[in-house]
A and B are shown apart, each in its own frame.
Chain A
Amino acid sequence: ICSLCEFESKL
C-alpha cells in the first residue's frame, strides 16, 4: 500500500 493510500485510509 502506498503512503498516500495509507494516509487516505486513516482519514
Chain B
Amino acid sequence: DDADMLASLKRVEDAEGRYLKSDRNLKLTYHSVGVVRGILTSILHKALHRLYEDAGWHPIVFFAEGTIYVGNDERRLEENLNNLEEYIAQELRSFVQERSKYGVGEKAVGPITQRVIRSPEYLYISENTVIEFWDAVRRQNSIANPNVDRISHISESEAKELIGLYNLLIYLTEVVKQCNKDKDAEEIFKCIFRREFPNVSEDVLNYILSSKIANIKPIEEKIRIAKLFREGLETRVREELLDDVVERFKRITNELREFGEKYHGIDYNAKARELMNDVSYPRFRVDTEMWDAYIHGKKKGTPLCVLCSNRATT
C-alpha cells in the first residue's frame, strides 16, 4: 500500500500531511526549489538533502523540482531549517573548492591591456587556483612573446625578455594591491619578496608597493625597472628565467591568499541568501497574494508560466 501511495504522488506537494500506513509514526514531508538554473539548482538540492538527513528525515521519492522525505521528528527539522543559509553556503563553498581542481584559477586572468585580474574571486580560492592563475599568465603572449618596438641599444630578444618580466611585475603589483588593504599584508609581502629575491634592489619592491608599475608607463621606464629587476636575478635563458620568476610569484601569492580572499573572495552567505528565495517547504511561510491573473507590471499579452504554461496566479 505504501509503495502504491508513493508511486502515485504526482508532485512533491502531494506528500503534505501524509504518513506511511505500515508505521503511522512515519510522516512524509518535502522540499522543492525553482528549477530555472542549472548547477546552482543541483547544489540547492544537495544542501537540502543534507539538512533534512541531519534532522533524521530520509529522502524517498525524487522529482526534478524537489524531494519527498520520510521521518518523524518535525521539531528537529524545523530547528534545522533555521540553518538553511549555512547549509547552502557550505554546499556552495565545497562545490567551488572541489571545482577549483579544474581550471578555475585560469578564469581570473585578464589581458595585460585591461583589468589584469579579471575575476579576483577565482584567484584566492586555493593553492591550486593560484598556481593555475600564474600558469595561465605565463602562457600569455604579453609574457612569453610580447610585441616590442625597436629600442635603441638593446636587441629585440633582450627587449622581449625585459618587457615579459615587466608584464609579470604588473600582474604581481595587482595581486599585492588587492591584498594590501591590510597593513599586515604589506609587511608579509615585503618579507617574502626579500626572501624570494634576495639580490633584487629594494627599489623594485617599492615600485610594486606604490603601484608605480602599470601598462601605461612609457617604454623607457618599463625597460629601466625591468633591468633593475633583471640585475637581481640569476642569469638564465629567457624561458627558464620567466619560469623561475613565476614559481616565486606563486609562492608569494599563496602567502597573501588569506588577505585576497577576505576582500575579493566569494561571499558564499550572500549567494546562499539569494538562493533561499528559490526554496520552499511546507512550513516555510511567505506572504502571497492570489490574483485572477498576474498582471502587476505587465504591459501586454497574457503572462504564462515558462515551466508549465499555465496562467500565473500567485
Contact = CB atoms under 8 A, between A and B. Distances in A.
Interface residues of A, number: 7
A10 B37 CA distance: 13
B232 to A, nearest CB: 38
A10 B39 CA distance: 11
A5 B271 CA distance: 11
B122 A10 contact: yes
Interface in A1-11: 3-5, 7-8, 10-11
B107 A10 contact: yes
Dominant SS at the B interface? helix
Dominant SS at the A interface? helix
B275 A4 contact: yes
Interface residues of B, number: 13
B40 A10 contact: no
A4 B95 CA distance: 15
B99 A11 contact: yes
B39 A11 contact: yes
A11 B37 CA distance: 12
A7 B99 contact: no
Contacts of B95: 11
Q: Which of B95, B122, B274 has the most CB of A within 10 A?
A: B274
Nearest to B39: A11
A8 to B, nearest CB: 5
Contacts of B37: 4-5, 8
B271 A7 contact: yes
B119 interface: yes
A4 B107 contact: no
Contacts of B99: 11
A4 B40 CA distance: 8
B40 A7 contact: yes
B38 interface: yes
B119 A10 contact: yes
Interface of A: 3-5, 7-8, 10-11
